[in-house]
Structure 1
Amino acid sequence: MESAESSLERHPSSPSSHHSAIFDKDRHITFLQMMYQLLPPPYQLQEINRLTLAYFVISGLDILGALDRVDKDAVANWVLSLQVRPRNKADRHSGQFFGFLGSRTSQFPPVVNRDLLPNNSHLASTYCALAILKIVGYKLSNNDFESLLTSMRNLQQPDGSFMPIHTGAETDLRFVYCAAAISFMLDDWSGMDKERAKDYILHCQSYDGGFGLVPGAESHGGATYCAIASLRLMGFLEDDLLSGSAMSSVIDVPLLLDWLVQRLGTDGGFQGRPNKVSDTCYAFWIGAVLRILGGHKFIDKGALRGFLLACQSEYGGFGKVPGELPDLYHSYYGFTAFGLLEEPHLLSLFSELGITGRAAMEV
């Protein structure tokens, strides 16, 4: 396996002075605190996804054991202010989805004839909202999520897939995962047909063992995570498939395992699909699937750690590849990857939700 030093030689844009042999926890905390207080101007184009960006910050701080750096009550109140509720019970069956908005901007739709246009609540934003609430210790049982679950059924399609919003949207495994994660966090599966969702997931497994976002699509690391984590959350996969008879599984585990192991690059990192460079985020997407399957023993932890440290920024956070500036997305999945590697002084990770085990167990 190639060493971290030889990995750096492949990326001359990453000066050796920027590469550290340690996980710089304090600098990462400072980086996330800065993102919490004021997002840099380049993120203005992502304003509609502010709730997702907040998820990366809040959950990242939790993984780093620094959740005390934020006002948890203020965070919970802000998230709850983005919840969309129906005007009456009949609205639950109007075809709309009553979840959470992605930002304050989408909370104020245009007014036509003094009536608000259909809401813009989104399945991915709802997943992030509930995850944040669990992380900061808000008791989900204190809220009435019946409208959310009832209306979420409006998003499931006849083939078992989900749309993220009630109209004019694509359907793929990302939103099946969001629906499964929402149902798991609320401990209520009335908002989705699990059998139909399972059938859709199985149709997304490709000939090479991985999963594409839709049936017939190329296998992809992120899609494979969504498939396997969803099946696990829905109760269709055992705790450790490799400890028993993998042949009894609903999926072709040996073929999938072969595809996953082939994603390991010579630089120690993981790629998302063949003929692509290793990328920080896939250390989680691929690593978490291996963890769920019980195949994490196949990961060369030293080599993967070396690759991730080469992607660690001198400013805190992680870039996509060695030498790139840090961004919130890759920083967060760098933190989760180190959580999977059981880095000292980080909270343990619940792979299926991508948040800490402590937060996942909150009710």
Structure 2
Amino acid sequence: MAASLSDPFSIDCLFDKERHMIFLEMMYQLLPSDYQPQEINHLTLAYFTLSSLDILGALDQSSKHNASHLASTYSALAILKMMGCELSLLDSKSIVISMKNLQKDNGSFMPIHFGAEADLRFVYCATAISYLLDDWTGVDKEKAKEYILNCQSYDGGFGLCPGLESHGGATYCAIASLRLMGYIEDNVLFEGASSSIINIPMLLDWMVQRQAEDGGFQGRINKPSDTCYAFWVGGVLKILGGNKFVSKEALHDSLLKCQSMYGGFSKFPGEFPELYHSYYSFCAFSILEEPGFDNLCVELGISKRAACGPSISL
């Protein structure tokens, strides 16, 4: 039976691409009122929208394309890569000089030059920016590596800062950063776990345990599953070469429970869709090799088509 307007979250058995493209086009044309005051996040929201369309293979169907912050800089560069722009034409030196001044003595990064927290999120932004620009002069890689290693917890996962609880998003930032900097190999689980700089068996055990009974992934112990962690946790397993440990059918079904009749995905079943969880749900479907999706460059969070440029090879 077709879903009614009073039942916008009825569970579908199939991924509805056309519905999600309409949702993304609406997000592109006019941000919902809740997003509009978030000026510092506007580039990130544009990144979620355009990269979603790119992963869906529909970027060319989008009707038009219209104080510095590490996350905004990463989002801007990712968008430019999706648009096919040559990043070597940018004033990359100014970017990396500014970024170099954001790295603290312990190896972490602040997102802005004053009054901000420093943690693994911004280490990731710095490494992704450096990789995209093919210029590492703005990052002390050894210091960044040591900071990341200090964030690995006793249970194998990574916290946002040393000593904090293991978290799926922080673990992604740690592993993707190490991969981008060249400190761990692709498919390390089977290629060199014994010689890795991180404790791979403990990490794998912690990651696999994040798949909940409903098939989705949780970000922390004793938390409900959440669609975004299908990427944050599933992406780490993809980088490590641990995809075979994921119950893919169960994950697929758990994601579809959050698919809205209006397009997009919600955090939990029964809630309204929004960009953040929609984007990471699309990423998860790409990792699951859903038909009709472009392949995802997990480490950079963009499609492989966008990532593959003159100096990019992942």
Partner Cα separation in structure 2 for residue 322 and residue 333 of structure 1: 15
Does residue 352 in structure 1 map to residue 299 in structure 2? yes
Partner Cα separation in structure 1 for residue 230 and residue 126 of structure 2: 24
What is the CA-CA distance between 1:141 and the residue it aligns to?
Answer: 1.3
Q: How does 1:75-94 map to 2 (within 5 A)?
A: 75=66
Does residue 211 in structure 1 map to residue 164 in structure 2? no
Partner of 2:143: 196
AA aligned to 1:255 is M
What is the CA-CA distance between 1:63 and the residue it aligns to?
Answer: 0.5
Partner of 2:196: 249
Q: How does 1:134-173 map to 2 (within 5 A)?
A: 134-173=81-120
What is the CA-CA distance between 1:299 and the residue it aligns to?
Answer: 0.6
Partner of 2:283: 336
AA aligned to 1:189 is W
Larger Rg belongs to: 1
Partner of 1:20: 12
Normalized against structure 1, the TM-score is what? 0.82
Partner of 1:90: none
Partner of 1:53: 45
Does residue 326 in structure 1 map to residue 273 in structure 2? yes
Partner Cα separation in structure 2 for residue 292 and residue 275 of structure 1: 25
AA aligned to 2:109 is F
What is the CA-CA distance between 1:343 and the residue it aligns to?
Answer: 0.5
Contact in 2 for aligned 1:211/1:227 (Cα 8 Å)? yes
CA offsets, 1:279-300, max 9 Å, x none? Answer: 0000000000000000011011
Partner Cα separation in structure 2 for residue 42 and residue 352 of structure 1: 29
What is the CA-CA distance between 1:362 and the residue it aligns to?
Answer: 2.6
Partner Cα separation in structure 2 for residue 40 and residue 277 of structure 1: 26
Contact in 1 for aligned 2:9/2:270 (Cα 8 Å)? no
What is the CA-CA distance between 1:15 and the residue it aligns to?
Answer: 5.9
What is the CA-CA distance between 1:214 and the residue it aligns to?
Answer: 0.2
Partner Cα separation in structure 1 for residue 17 and residue 108 of structure 2: 39
Does residue 234 in structure 1 map to residue 181 in structure 2? yes
Contact in 2 for aligned 1:206/1:217 (Cα 8 Å)? yes
AA aligned to 2:253 is G
AA aligned to 2:158 is F
Contact in 2 for aligned 1:221/1:273 (Cα 8 Å)? yes
What is the CA-CA distance between 1:150 and the residue it aligns to?
Answer: 1.5
Normalized against structure 2, the TM-score is what? 0.95
Partner Cα separation in structure 2 for residue 264 and residue 70 of structure 1: 35
Q: How does 1:171-190 map to 2 (within 5 A)?
A: 171-190=118-137
Partner Cα separation in structure 1 for residue 241 and residue 7 of structure 2: 36
Partner of 1:44: 36
What is the CA-CA distance between 1:16 and the residue it aligns to?
Answer: 9.6
What is the CA-CA distance between 1:41 and the residue it aligns to?
Answer: 1.3
What is the CA-CA distance between 1:46 and the residue it aligns to?
Answer: 1.8
Contact in 2 for aligned 1:208/1:256 (Cα 8 Å)? yes
Range that drifts further, 144-153 or 317-326 = 144-153
Partner Cα separation in structure 2 for residue 244 and residue 236 of structure 1: 13
- Closer/same/farther in 2, CA of residues 217 and 188 from structure 1, 3 Å limit: same
AA aligned to 2:29 is Q
What is the CA-CA distance between 1:71 and the residue it aligns to?
Answer: 5.5
Partner of 2:253: 306
What is the CA-CA distance between 1:45 and the residue it aligns to?
Answer: 2.7
Partner Cα separation in structure 2 for residue 227 and residue 293 of structure 1: 12
AA aligned to 1:31 is F
SS of residue matched to 1:167:
coil
Contact in 2 for aligned 1:33/1:69 (Cα 8 Å)? no
Partner Cα separation in structure 1 for residue 244 and residue 31 of structure 2: 38
Partner of 1:87: none
Partner of 1:92: none
Does residue 121 in structure 1 map to residue 68 in structure 2? yes
Partner of 2:3: none
- Closer/same/farther in 2, CA of residues 203 and 304 from structure 1, 3 Å limit: same
Partner Cα separation in structure 1 for residue 309 and residue 278 of structure 2: 25
Identical pairs, percent: 67
AA aligned to 1:66 is A
What is the CA-CA distance between 1:49 and the residue it aligns to?
Answer: 1.1
Among candidates 266, 279, 300, match of residue 213 of structure 2: 266
